[in-house]
Amino acid sequence: PLVLFGTVITHFFGGSAGREGTAVQIGGSIADRIGSIFGLKGNYKQILLITGIASGFSAVFGTPMTGVVFALEVLVIGKIQYKGVLHALIAALVADYVCLLFPIHHTHYQINTTVNENFYSIYFWLKIILAGILFGLVANSFSLLIYSFKKAYAKIAFRSWFTPIIGALIIILLAQLVGYDYLGLGVNPNYPGAASLIGAFHINGVTHWSWLWKLLFTTITLSAGFKGGEVTPLFFIGAALGNTLGILMGLPVDLMAGLGFIAVFAGATNTPLACCFMGLELFGSQYLPLYVVVCFLAYYCNGLGGIYEAQLISDRKSYFFFHTKQKTLGNYQEQGRLYLKRRIKNLRSKYL
């Protein structure tokens, strides 16, 4: 309940945060609590947790298959928990059906561009590969900025309760400088002509720097202690970046916005397979090869990044990353930061 109330308060006062991610957390928390009540332990409790995550994701996005794969993939990086697939599938389908019984409509995103043989040239694929790399780097910057801002707040604030005040003042100042487009959820425009997630699928729907402003607004908000999800802001950031890349690369804006939509989220959550399914459910199957390329490139190029510090690590993503004995992503990230600091210090002492 505290996460729910905190999210409502954040949105009420204009904080740049999501709410769907909170619903997924609530689903997982309820499942965990039920498991504790009935004394479930080990694999049984993990299966129940997977079920809760799948149902929460399916309900808020209207994508049951994505919810299933996301729940199976998100707990452990590099390993899918197949033991909970049937339970997650049933829960996701039921959750989606229950939502449809109410007058609730999920936001529809659409790619109108038709991909034909002219698209699949070497230059087209080079542009897609470059875009996938950039999506991954931006996904990494999301978690990096949250970490950096938290460190900065800790140095500035003389009391922990003063941190949200500093964050709120910064958000107010930014809003005065660049406008109110990036406050709140951002799915629909805050006023006619404002940048929004839906607008990112259209030419002139966002500016070239909308992705950066939304990135700053969201990371400043969340790192200051305001509650809310990261999911929808990541969608906004990815779609807006895709819009910009589409214009710069001479590719269809709606197609690139859709690819950015799923790829940045894939990198930030370390769930590339789930995001491929998300592309299928939201945009259709004709772009499947593009989903796979950008999502997995973003996943690898995200490196040590990730918004879920409690994610367990099965193995390193590739041979480009060092081995680690850390069990969680948060500890792995801290180890990586210490490693980079040592390398920079050694290089400075050697060449400066």
SS3 labels along 172-189: HHHHHHHCCCCCCCCCCC
Asked whether residue 317 is domain-assigned, the answer is no
CATH number at 286 reads 1.10.3080.10
245, 165: one domain:
yes
CB 191 within 8 A of CB 200: no
Domain count of the chain? 3
* Residue 99 CB partners (closer than 8 Å, separation 6+): 59, 62, 106
- So what's the pLDDT on residue 80? 86
Whether residue 111 is contained in a domain is answered as no
Tell me: do 195 and 288 sit in the same domain: yes
Tokens coding 351: 């060449």
Do 344 and 289 share a structural domain? no
Residue from 253, 228, 229 nearest 243 by CA: 253
**In a shared domain, residues 162 and 261:** yes
Q: Are residues 62 and 91 in the same domain?
A: yes
Model pLDDT for residues 126-181, shown as the tens digit of each residue:
999 999 999 999 999 999 999 899 989 988 877 888 888 999 999 999 999 998 99
In a domain, 187, yes or no: yes
Residues of the chain with pLDDT under 70: 1-2, 21, 117-118, 315-326, 332-333, 336, 339, 352
Q: Do residues 206 and 294 both lie within one domain? A: yes
Domain holding 86, by residue range, is: 2-101
The sign one gets for the Cα dihedral 255, 278, 269, 174 is: positive
The predicted structure's pLDDT at residue 318 = 58
Q: In whole angstroms, give the CA distance from residue 1 to residue 273.
A: 31
Do residue 171 and residue 287 come from a single domain?
A: yes
